[in-house]
Each structure stands twice: as structure tokens, then as C-alpha cells.
Amino acid sequence: MTCYAYAMRLESTGSIHITSNDPRVAPAIRFNFLSNAQDVEITLATIRIACATITAPAMQPLQVMQIAPSEVDVCDDDALLAWTRAFGETTYHPIETCKMGLDPMAVVDNRLRVHGLHGLRVADASIMPTMTSGNTNAPAIMIGEKAAPMVLDGAV
């Protein structure tokens, strides 16, 4: 059994910046995890709930054991937050990096065209303006299905 604990819709935001005109040079990525106080509170609460679930008496017959956070007092905010900062990671479904919309943070319009660039569209999970509550596979497929006729219409 694996139990992950994380907040779905965080307020903390990071950034990605191009560092060179050489495409082989990596961009500067600043994750900025847990920079918002509300995110810290929610994250600590979700970890405590996961730990309580794993260690609940009802789980004893299954011989489930908590592997991480190990040797961290889950009642100590500072210790738990330090562990989270050291071992926390993304949930492997990055989205929202090329947000669709009309506001100043939007990268593509409602036809998936990149603002300010002729002939370039983005048609993947990065255009989702907010996090879905489930896996991103189905929404990414839907984006592709909607994008196909837009691209064909634009090619005529």
C-alpha cells in the first residue's frame, strides 16, 4: 500500500525562465514549494492524516508499516516541515505552465494559439488553467481531441 499526502490546489507558485538562446542550456526552474502559509498548514494536516490512517488499529491486521516520514515527530510542525522540504516532490503531472485564457498570465488563447506568435499552438496538459482533481490523462486526451480540428481549420 502506498499513501501519498498532498494538497491539490496550492497557492505557492514557482517560475521557469530561459537562461540562454542555446536550447541545450537548461532553464532556471524555481519550484518555490510551500512558500504560502496556507499551503504549509494544509500540507502538514494531510501528512498527519495519512500517518494516522497507516497507523490506525484497523490497519494492524494488514501488517502495514509507515516507512516515511520515519523518525519524525508528526506533532512537531518544524520537524515535519523540515522533512517535507527535504523529501517532498511533485506528483508527476505538471500542468498550468502554458495557461489558456485572456488574462495577463495566459500563454494561449481559446484556440490554443500562443499569444503573440503566429503559427504556434500548445495542445497538452500545460494549458489547463487550474489543477484537475484526478489524473490528467483524460483531460489531456480531450485537449488533443479538441485541438485536432482547430489545427486542421487553421491549415486550410
Cα–Cα distance, 100 to 108 (Å, whole number)? 5
- Give the side-chain half-sphere CA count within 13 A for 39: 14
Question: How buried is residue 80: exposed, middle or buried, by Cβ count under 10 Å (0-12/13-18/19+)?
Answer: buried
Give the CA radius of gyration of the chain: 20
Q: In the chain, what is the straight-line distance between the N-terminal and C-terminal CA atoms, in Å?
A: 52
Q: Which of 17, 93, 115, 118 is catalytic?
A: 93
Cα–Cα distance, 62 to 97 (Å, whole number)? 41
Q: Is 115 among the residues known to form the active site? A: no
Strands 15-17 and 28-30: antiparallel
Which residues are tagged catalytic?
Answer: 93
